[in-house]
Amino acid sequence: MKRVLAVVAALALAGCGSGQPGTSTPTPTSAAGVTGEITVFAAASLTESFTKLGKEFEAANPGAKVKFNFAGSSALAQQLNQGAPADVFASAAPANMKQVTDTGTITATPTTFVKNTLQIAVPKGNPGKVSGLADFANAELKIALCAEQVPCGAASKKVFEAAKVTAAPDTLEQDVKAVLTKVSLGEVDAALVYRTDVKAAGDKVEGKDFTEADKAVNDYPIAPLAKAPNAAAAKAFVDYVLSGKGRTVLTEAGFAAP
């Protein structure tokens, strides 16, 4: 009888450790990654690369959904300081990030994740025969630039000062994508945009390097918002951007390592 009881007890113990339905063995949930919606405010020049990173992030975290607000960094900073809900801010310049950290909207230390430089952009075929920065002073040419409060506009001002050129723009736009659109549609003869934007435009525009470009290299900082609605996802997205996978996407887009 004792032998029978021992066998029954052993079988019962074996059943408890089997992991079959109805047992108390916990099912891991951390492997599923972060979940919920995450809102990322990002500089317009990050549109293509961050859109790709967002899709990759969602694939790695099936329960997450990334929404983007792409615009000029100055406009994004203003929106955030006015209380716009967001989880992450990626700026095209430290100055606009500082506008947000100064108000306490971001309390974490921002991390510079890429650098970018300007390039002359002209329509395909270069109908205006633009050869360098000096042509931006030619009143007979149609010129587009970013407004000075936008990072690409502030950088443009620096390179013109370095080249001792007084630009004569016909239009000032609020983000770099608006400037690039003017070029790709042939509405202007030349513009200054980031080299990443020229690359993203493909054969619609042509890019020209100039020596003064290294006088205005833009650092891009990123940070989660202090009151991020989805703090866990915010941290995870920032970490993904800073990861090797994130670096690969950004490098392929033409950004330089910090």
Q: 126 and 75, same structural domain? A: no
User: In terms of pLDDT, which residue wins out, 7 or 252?
Assistant: 252
Q: Is residue 230 part of a domain?
A: yes
| 141 lies in the same domain as 58 | no
Predicted pLDDT of residue 3: 43
User: Domain of 138?
Assistant: 118-215
How far is Cα of residue 229 from the mean position of the Cα atoms in its chain? 19
Q: Evaluate whether 126 touches 206 at the Cβ level (below 8 Å).
A: yes
Beta-bridge partners for 31: none
In a domain, 24, yes or no: no
Q: Are residues 127 and 211 in the same domain?
A: yes
| CA angle (88, 60, 23) in 5-degree steps | 115
57 and 68 part of one domain: yes
pLDDT tens per residue across span 54-106:
999 999 999 999 999 999 999 999 999 999 999 999 999 999 999 999 999 99
Residue 258 lies in a domain: no
Pair (137, 207) in one structural domain: yes
Give the chain's mean pLDDT. 90
pTM listed for this prediction: 0.85
Domain-located, residue 128: yes
Residue 11 in domain: no
Q: Please indicate, yes or no, whether residues 42 and 73 belong to a single structural domain of this protein.
A: yes
Residues 206 and 246 in one domain: no
Q: What CATH number is associated with residue 130?
A: 3.40.190.10
Split at pLDDT 50, 70, 90, the class of 175 is very high
Q: Flag whether 179 is in a domain.
A: yes
100 and 144 share one domain: no
CA distance 245 to 216: 27
List beta partners, residue 219.
115
124 and 192 co-located in one domain: yes
Q: How many domains does the chain have?
A: 2
Residue 55 sits in the same domain as residue 106 = yes
Predicted confidence band of residue 33 (pLDDT cuts 50, 70, 90): confident
Same domain as 231, residue 166:
no
Same domain, 225 and 164: no
